[in-house]
Structure 1
Amino acid sequence: MWNKAKPKADIQKFSGRTSVIAAGAELIGDMRFQGAVQVDGRLSGNLLATEGLVRVSVEGQVQGEIRAPHVILDGEVIGDVYASEHLELGARARVRGNLHYGLMEMAMGAQIEGRLCHVKDGTPRILELPASLEADQ
């Protein structure tokens, strides 16, 4: 009845390719990566990944867009989230923005101020760069 065939992405899978924005640190600007990034501090900008995982911890905050196949939120996000494969919202997640997801798990207590938009299979455009970023290159 429950589909458990697909294992969840975990930050452990990306050992050697994991970046951390530490508690007390603040990064201003966009970050593009492959692998995993954990936000324990604060990011004012967009997180963009063609493959990998973004995790925002309980104390973490992102002001900007998140685009990655796998996203785990326990902290605060002010901006839209695009998780083409899997989106997980922990009990202390706070999101002010629209959520675009392939599969979503949400714990009781998570807060969302925005729309929930299911992404159907075969929609490759979800991870394309926004037009504003493409113009900068």
Structure 2
Amino acid sequence: MWGADKRKKLDINQYSGKTTIIALDADFQGNIQFTGALQIDGRVEGNIVADKGLVRVSEHGIVEGTIKAPSVLINGQVVGDVEASEHLELDSKARIQGDLHYRFMEMVMGAQISGALHYLDDAAPTLPGIDAESDNDNS
């Protein structure tokens, strides 16, 4: 009815065997580049880049750096810009300080954004200079 949405919900289980987890008490410092799925329950200080895959920041997860991936699901805290070239989902406990670049976005009541929203169309360039080799230093 009403042209039912045929897009799949973001699901980390579809990356079975290709999922990396940063555990609740873990504190990871450095950039991460991967293909598959990354679930962050702990803290990451650095940039996260996925050519193909999903980044999930859980309720207790904290990322200080940029996130660039096809699919991003946030229910924790992110201090930095986020680029989701396919799908961005913000759950009720999402707290983001940075700009969001997205193609499709879902946002649940309660999510908070301190930054600008930028729709990515086919002609829009992606975030410049975000790769796993770049610093997270703003100076």
One fold, TM greater than 0.5? yes
Q: Secondary structure at the match of 1:54?
A: strand
Where structure 1 has 5 or more consecutive residues not aligned to the other structure, the ranges are none
Q: Which runs of 4+ in 1 moved over 6 A?
A: none
- 1:133 aligned partner, one-letter code: E
Whether 2:3 is the aligned partner of 1:13: answer no
Where structure 2 has 5 or more consecutive residues not aligned to the other structure, the ranges are none
- Separation in 2, partners of 1:59, 1:45: 17
CA contact (8 A) 2:70 2:86 kept: yes
Tell me the number of residue pairs that the alignment of Structure 1 and Structure 2 aligns.
Answer: 134
User: Taking structure 1 as reference, are residues 132 and 20 closer, same or farther at Cα in structure 2, changes over 3 Å only?
Assistant: closer
TM-score using structure 1 length? 0.90
CA contact (8 A) 2:47 2:131 kept: no
User: Taking structure 1 as reference, are residues 71 and 131 closer, same or farther at Cα in structure 2, changes over 3 Å only?
Assistant: closer
- Separation in 2, partners of 1:64, 1:44: 6
- Separation in 1, partners of 2:56, 2:44: 12
Whether 2:40 is the aligned partner of 1:39: answer yes
Tell me the equivalent position of 1:24.
25
Q: Secondary structure at the match of 2:60?
A: coil
- Separation in 2, partners of 1:55, 1:27: 15
- Separation in 2, partners of 1:20, 1:120: 31
User: Taking structure 1 as reference, are residues 118 and 2 closer, same or farther at Cα in structure 2, changes over 3 Å only?
Assistant: farther
Greater RCO structure (CA 8 Å; 6+ sep): 2
User: Taking structure 1 as reference, are residues 30 and 134 closer, same or farther at Cα in structure 2, changes over 3 Å only?
Assistant: closer
- Separation in 2, partners of 1:81, 1:134: 15
Per-residue CA deviations over 1:47-75 (Å, capped at 9, x if unaligned) read 10000000000000000000000000000
User: Taking structure 1 as reference, are residues 119 and 18 closer, same or farther at Cα in structure 2, changes over 3 Å only?
Assistant: same
Superposed displacement of residue 5, structure 1: 1.4
Q: Secondary structure at the match of 2:109?
A: coil
Q: Which has the higher helix share?
A: 1
TM-score using structure 2 length? 0.89
